[in-house]
Amino acid sequence: MKITDVEALPVAYAEPNDSNATRHLLFVRISTDEGLRGWGEAVTMWPEATRATAALVDGLRPLLLSRDPREHALIHQALSGHTWWYGNGGLTSFAISALDIALWDLTGQAAGLNILDLIGGAVHESLPVLVSCHAMEADLNAMAARMAGWVADHDAVGIKVGFGKRGAAALGIDADRDVAFVEALRRELGPDKSIMIDIGASVSWDVRTAIARTLAFEEFGIAWIEEPLGADNPSGYAELRDRVTTKIAYGEREWTPRGIQRIVDTGTVDVVGIDPGRCEGVTGWLAAAGRVRAAAREVNAHAWSSAVVTAASLALSFASPHCHQVEIKPLVNPMEHSLPTTPLTATNGRFTAPVRPGLGIEIDEAALQQYRLDD
């Protein structure tokens, strides 16, 4: 089997789970002489990053043409070797991520096996759903009630709430407002559901604020607090970890296994988020997760984009004993529900191990064309 084409397909779409803001992704489609098509994705977010990553994919195309996609490990090495000159991470990692996921998809399709089977098989019988959402409404009691409804609708184990997001909620700024919201959410959810708080990039807390806010949240039982001090503050996280009992989560913004190793080595992270659409695809995720496992930390396979990354994260979660839940968006959205011909769904609040070949999804290419980003 030989690769005959590599195409970069940038898209833009309105995300209902993000106040209908326009979000951007880059898909990669790799075709072979046997008629198979593999799909990959980079979670590029912004239009300029999406277009720039598409240009990189086009530039890397000669490194893949005429090669057997099942040589994904060798191709990954070739991509890393070629791109060292213009840097590790950033747009480079976006491009490698999308290409690598598509190669694994093709490898699984050719073998008639899901990616999960290619990486060793499931270590979980099932995994629970965790609703992952943004606080968007000004009326926090109404927002808390709505979120509790999402948890009930999906029979989820709990909820992760993003502060500092688009919309009128304005969380992450005022302490009294933040604490009142967490109290209302606990009241609506009851005592048994997990609450995770994700502090968005638009919120900037110092160490004193992070300690005070986390201690206040602990009164209502939160499972973890994510990125309260941003992506890179090892001394601040060390101080926070000494003062609170809540687990600390970060890592989602790292680009490489080496970056994940760096934050694990600080001893300040309990739950490491790794996104295959950012951290060099399936190959990068496996390497990064191995380093997290060696440090006896928890892994969370981040997936808040399209069904392509969700499918990859689902397989990776089932293969890792240190993954304990699968994040889903609560509202129907085009990239998860229109793009795949059969959306990925849980039953009674739990996912079972994927079994269909490759990523386990088929892409509706006509639907994708509706969201193409104009040049």
Report the run of H or E that residue 243 belongs to, with start and end. Answer: helix 234-243
pLDDT at 346: 97
What letter would DSSP give residue 373? Answer: P
pLDDT at 148: 98
CA 317 – CA 309 distance, rounded (Å): 12
CA 197 – CA 222 distance, rounded (Å): 8
- Integer angstrom CA distances of residue 316 from 13, 143, 163, 289: 26, 32, 27, 9
129, β-bridge pairs: 326
Condensed to tens digits (0 to 9), the pLDDT of residues 105-138 reads 999 999 999 999 999 999 999 999 999 999 999 9
pLDDT at 88: 85
Note the pTM of the prediction, 2 decimals: 0.97
Q: Between the CA atoms of 291, 295, 297 and 300, what dihedral angle is there, to the nearest 10 degrees?
A: 0
| Weakly modelled stretches of the chain, pLDDT under 50 | none
pLDDT at 375: 57
Question: Residue 277's closest CA among 296, 298, 252?
Answer: 252
Name all domains of the chain by residue range, CATH numbers in brackets: 3-112+364-369 (3.30.390.10), 117-352 (3.20.20.120)
